[in-house]
Chains A and B, each alone.
Chain A
Amino acid sequence: DVKVTQSSRYLVKRTGEKVFLECVQDMDHENMFWYRQDPGLGLRLIYFSYDVKMKEKGDIPEGYSVSREKKERFSLILESASTNQTSMYLCASSSGVRRHYGYTFGSGTRLTVV
C-alpha cells in the first residue's frame, strides 16, 4: 500500500525551539508539499518541492524553511517555534507527470508550541 508517512502524530515543543517535521513517501513522486490547517482558514500551502534540492515558497512561508536532500524525504523546519505556529501540519506528494492522480496525504502532525 503506497503511503506518505509523517514522523509524529502529536508533538509538543517549547517557544524558541528548532522543530523538524519529517515526511517520507514511497511512491517515487517528484512533488512534495507542506500545508498547515487551522480552523476557519482551510489548507494553506507553506512550501513545496518539485525535485530534489528544489523548493518553492507557498502562501505562508514566513517562519519556516524546508529541506529535500533525497527524493523520498521532505522536511519542514520551524527555525524558532512560536505559539502562533501551533497547528495541524499536513504533508502530501504527487507525481510530476500524472497530475490527474492528485495528491496523497500523510496522516498529519498536530504541533503544539507552549
Chain B
Amino acid sequence: SQQGEEDPQALSIQEGENATMNCSYKTSINNLQWYRQNSGRGLVHLILIRSNEREKHSGRLRVTLDTSKKSSSLLITASRAADTASYFCAFLNRDDKIIFGKGTRLHILP
C-alpha cells in the first residue's frame, strides 16, 4: 500500500498527559504534514516539516522526522479535551500524488 501508516490506530489518555502518534511511509518525500480532523468535519493543517528538518515545534505540538527510518512522530503536550480528534499525516509520493495515512483517533479523558 502507498498509504502512510499511523500508529496507534486509537489512543485514549487522561487530560494533561502527553500524546504521541507515529507515521511511517515507504517512499522518499520532500516534506510531511500533519492534519487534525474533528468528527465528520474537514481537516485542519497543523504543521509541515521539510525533509531536511529533524524537529519542529508549534505551540503544544512537536513533530519529528527521521528520513532514514521513513517515520515521523507528532507529540501533543499537556493534552486538553479539545484535542480529541483524528490525526493524519500526509506526504507526496513518487507519482506526485498526495497520500494520507489512515489516522490515529485520539480521545482525551476528563
A pairs with B: no
